[in-house]
Structure 1
Amino acid sequence: MRDFLARTLNGRAPQAQCGEQRGFSWQWREEGILSIAPDAEPVGDLVISAAIHGNETAPVELLDAIIQALAAGELPLRWRLLVLLGNPGALRAGRRYQAQDLNRLFSQGWQRFPEGAERERARLLEQRLMEFYRAPRRWHLDLHTALRESLHPRFGVLPASQTPWDEGFLAWLGAAGLEALVFHQSPAGTFSHFSHACCAALSATLELGKARPLGDNDLTQFRLADMALRALLRGETPVMPERPPRRYRVVRQLTKQSEAFVLHMADQTPNFTAFHAGDLLAEESGRRYLARYPTEYVLFPNPRVAPGLRAGLMLIDAE
C-alpha cells in the first residue's frame, strides 16, 4: 500500500496485492487503482481521483501523502475509499495525455474514438466506479490543476444535475479552499459528470492550482484541500470559510469545429477574465461569436485543442 504511487510510476504490480492494517483492509486492484475499506461501518463510499491529466501532479503528491498517513496509522478512515490515478501512462511521461484527452471520453464518449490507451482506460474506470459504489452516500472528488493562471486560483466545476446540489457538499468544497464553483448546465465527457449521472454520486472537479512537474509542487499551497480531505476521511466536518465560494453558471461552450477557428483572447488570458456584451470572443469560417450577457467570464480558453473539442466555456454569475 505504501508504494502505491511508486508502483504506478514504474508500471510494476506489487508483490503483496492486499493486506490488513489497524482499522482497515486494502487491495491493489490494478495499475493506479487502490481500494481501502474500514473495519467499522463506513459512512459512505468515496472516490478520490487524480492524474486524469498526467501533467497535473500536485494532487498525486497530495493523495500519496494521505495514503502514507493511512498506512502509518496516523489517519483514521470512516469511508470506503477508492483511490484512482487516472492516466498512469501519461503520468509517467509527464504529459497531459498520450493520444486522447481522457477527461473527454467518459459517459461512453470513448465510443467516438479509435482504440488507444485513453479509450481503454476510460472504459475501465467507468467499470470500476460502477462496481465500487453501493452505499446511499456517494462522493467523487476528481482532483486537478489548471493549465493557466486563474483569477480564482482554486475553483470547482460541478456537472449538470437534474436535482439541486446538496448544500453540505458545496460547503465542503468551500472548506477545501475553493474560491469559486462553476455549474455546468449540459452533459459532458468528464469523469465527474459520469460519476454523477451514471452512479448518482455527489461529484466535482477540483482545480487546485497550477500544473507543475512531479516533484516541483509546493504542497503548502494545497493546505486547505489537504486538511479538508483528512477531516472528511476521519468523518469530521472541516473548518468552514468565512466567505462561501462565488458561484458561476455555464451559458455557452466555444467549440472548435476546424483549424479555421480563431479565439480572440491572448494566450495568457487567465481563467475568469471578464468580457462584456458585444465583445468578439471567437470566429470560425465567417461565423462570429459575441458575448451576449452584460458580463461573461471565460474558463479553460484553449484554441489549440483538436477540432470537435471545447475551446472555452463562457460563464455568468449564478447569484
Structure 2
Amino acid sequence: MMDLLQQTLAGSAPDVLNGETPWLRWYWRDEGIIEFIPRHETHQAVVVSAGLHGNETAPVEIVNQLVSQLLSGEKPLQPRLLVILGNPAALRTNQRYLRVDINRLFGGRWQRNEDCAEARRAWQLERALESFWQGTEAQTPRWHLDLHTAIRGSYHPRFGVLPFCQRPWPQDFMHWLSAAGLEALVFHRAPGGTFSHYSSEHFAAISCTLELGKAQPFGQNDLTQFAAAQQALASLLFGDALPPVAEEPRRYRVAQQITRHTAAFQLHMSGETLNFTAFPQGTLLAEDGEDRYYVQQAREYVLFPNPAVATGLRAGLMLVEDNAYNVALSAETVS
C-alpha cells in the first residue's frame, strides 16, 4: 500500500497511479495530490490540504493517517475528496518555504514573482483545484479545509481564519469548526492571496484556514493534542461520530493590516508576543518610514506578527472581538 507522505517526500510518482477498495477509487493526480471518488452517490465535495508551509508537520501526519485508512480499505469514504500536501520541496527540508511564502501567491499572484518552486507549485495547485471542482455539480456543497500550525504561541492555540466572503456561512460548517476544537474564528474583511481564499473566491467553496497548534518538525508532534480535529475530519470523511462541542469559539474580525513596505519597517512587539495579545487604543504598533500604525479601537488583538516578511507582505493583523459579526454578515447577505 502506498504511503502518501513518504511517496511525496521521495519526490517521485508511485509505480501504481490508481487503485480501488470496496469503498472507493483513488487517483494520483500530481506530486502530493491524490483524489478519492466513493463508489456510492455522494452529495459533497471536500478538499483537505496541509503542508503549504514545510515546517508545519502535524497536520501532514494527521492527513497521512486518514489517507492510509482510505487506501487500505479500512474506512469508507463519504464525500468526493481531494487531498493535497501543498509544498513538498519545503516539507523535505523542514522549512516554512524555500523562496516565497506560497500562501500569499494564489489567485494568480504567483505570476508577479520570479520563477521559483513556490510560484510553480501555486500554479499547479490552482489547476488541481479547478480540475477537481469542475468534476462536481454546481449545487454540490464544496468545503476546503486548509490545515496549518502557527509559528508562535497563542492565547487561542487552535483557531480558524475565514476568508472574505459575501455569502452566508452555513451552520453545519460552523458547527463542524466548533466540534474540531477551534477556540476562535477570525473573519477577513478583504480579499487575499491564501489558498482558502482562492477556493472561496473562484469556486464558491466554503473554506477555512485552520491553525491547530504550534509548528514542530516531523517526529516531534504530540498528535493527542490534535485529537478533536482528527476526529472531526474522520467524521467528515468516514462518517464517524462528530466530537461534541466543548465550547463555542470566540469571534474576531480583522480591523486593520500591518504591511511592511520598506526595509526601514519596525514592528514594536517582542519576538515572544503571542497571537491574540491585546493592545489598548493609541498604542504604536509599527513604523515604516513616515508611516505609523496605531491601535485604533478601544482594544485590538494581534495575529501573525512577523517583522521578517518580505516587503509588500503582511507583517501582522489587528483584530477586534465581535461575536455578532458572523450573524450580522449572514443576515445582511440574505436580505
Q: 2:244 matched to 1:240?
A: yes
Give the equivalent residue in structure 1 for 2:173. 169
Describe the SS at the equivalent of 1:272: coil
Could you report, residue by residue, the CA deviation over 1:204-228 in whole angstroms, capped at 9, with x for unpaired residues?
Answer: 0000000000111111010000000
Whether the 8 Å contact between 2:2 and 2:14 is mirrored in structure 1 is no
Mapping for residues 126-275 of structure 1, pairs under 5 Å = 126-133=126-133, 134-135=136-137, 136-235=140-239, 238-275=242-279
Q: TM-score, normalised by structure 2?
A: 0.93
Distance of 2:100 and 2:238 partners within structure 1: 36
Q: Gapped runs of 5+ residues in structure 2?
A: 324-335
Q: CA RMSD in A?
A: 1.1
Q: Is the 2:212–2:226 Cα contact (8 Å) retained in structure 1?
A: yes
Q: Give yes or no for contact 1:143–1:206 (8 Å, CA) kept in 2.
A: yes
Percent of pairs with identical residues: 55
Amino acid at match of 2:131: E
Question: Equivalent residues in 2 for 1:65-144 (5 A)?
Answer: 65-133=65-133, 134-135=136-137, 136-144=140-148
* Contact 1:43–1:235 under 8 Å retained in 2: no
Which residue of 1 is the match for residue 48 of structure 2? Answer: 48
Which deviations, in whole Å up to 9, do the C-alpha atoms of 1:234-262 show, x marking residues without a partner? 24561331421100000111000011111
Residue pair 1:171, 1:240 contacting (<8 A) in 2 also = no
Specify the alignment match of 1:314 in structure 2.
318
Q: Aligned partner of 2:9: which letter?
A: L
Paired with 2:253 and 2:244, the residues of 1 have a C-alpha distance of 23
Q: Distance in 1 between matches of 2:237 and 2:257?
A: 35
Distance in 2 (CA, whole Å) between partners of 1:47 and 1:132 is 9
Q: How many residues are treated as equivalent by the alignment? A: 319
Instruction: Give the secondary structure class of the aligned counterpart of 1:289.
Output: strand
Looking at structure 2, the residues matched to 74 and 244 of structure 1 have their Cα atoms a distance apart, in angstroms, of 32
* Native 8 Å contact 1:139 1:202 kept in 2: yes
CA distance in 2, matches of 1:236, 1:4: 22
Q: Helix, strand or coil for the counterpart of 1:140?
A: strand
- Kept in 1: contact 2:179–2:246 (CA 8 A): no
Q: How many Å apart are 1:318 and its aligned residue?
A: 1.7
Aligned to 1:57: 57
Distance between the aligned counterparts of 1:18 and 1:298, measured in 2? 45
Gaps of 5+ in 1: none
In structure 2, what residue type is equivalent to 1:167?
Answer: Q
Residue type matched to 1:239 in 2? P
In the alignment, the residues of structure 2 paired with residue 47 and residue 56 of structure 1 have an alpha-carbon distance, to the nearest angstrom, of: 18
Following the alignment from structure 1 to structure 2, what is the Cα–Cα distance between the partners of residues 236 and 10? 32
